[in-house]
Structure 1
Amino acid sequence: MGWTKELNEGDWYLLHTLVHVARADDEVVPMEVAFIDTVMKALDVGDADRRTVKAMLRGEGAIPPVDARPPASLTYERKLDVFREAISLAFADGVFAQEEKELVNKLVQRLGLHPGDMQPIWDRAKRHYLDG
């Protein structure tokens, strides 16, 4: 078993946000689970935390509220990372559902992102996931 780090509040905020995006349209598809698995591997999430996230994806256990404020420690760059991952996940199944759009728009407001910083992320995700 490899070393894993203890997740900080920014990592947990990212994972909770991704769980909410995946569950937004009431259907968590395998592609979304695989995307979150990839993020968890990149974060070095341990087995216990991985099980917690998987349970949240199944609708089991407590999930922080969808409108939870980002931690004060979250830098602007990290907020952009959360937005980037949320957008990529929303597009991952090839369908950007209305519920996902609404959730992402609320996320943008909570994160306090500048429109000029978000547009390239939107454009890149649309090109990658929708235009092939």
Structure 2
Amino acid sequence: MKPIRLSILMQKIVRQLVCKENQSHFSNSILPLLLPTCGQVRFIWQINNQGTWLYLYDTADWEQTLLDRIAEYHAQDVSNIYYLYDRQKLLPVFENDVRHIAQKRIEARQKKSIKAECNDSGS
């Protein structure tokens, strides 16, 4: 999806789901992260009436931040909507799927780390 089309779609979603007083967060914080990627970076987008959060796949340790934020909003009884961008489409996704994606990525990174440590100690 072209970056301008993606940003217009996301702005429409923000106007529908985020309280008016919190909509500027998207323009001031999310768009500056998103536009330089030219639509070529996968991400998960979290939305609630308080604002939106973008988790770029190429950002370090975004998974734990996402999982922590999910838990925090559950404790506050705030519901969230999630979208997954796969470099072509912005698709709605269930929270359980988002949690699963984040947990699997953390597990894969831990396995790589353990494997690298074993290779380094075996040298």
Q: Tell me the TM-score normalised to structure 1 length.
A: 0.34
Rg: which structure is higher?
2
Higher helix fraction: Structure 1 or Structure 2?
1
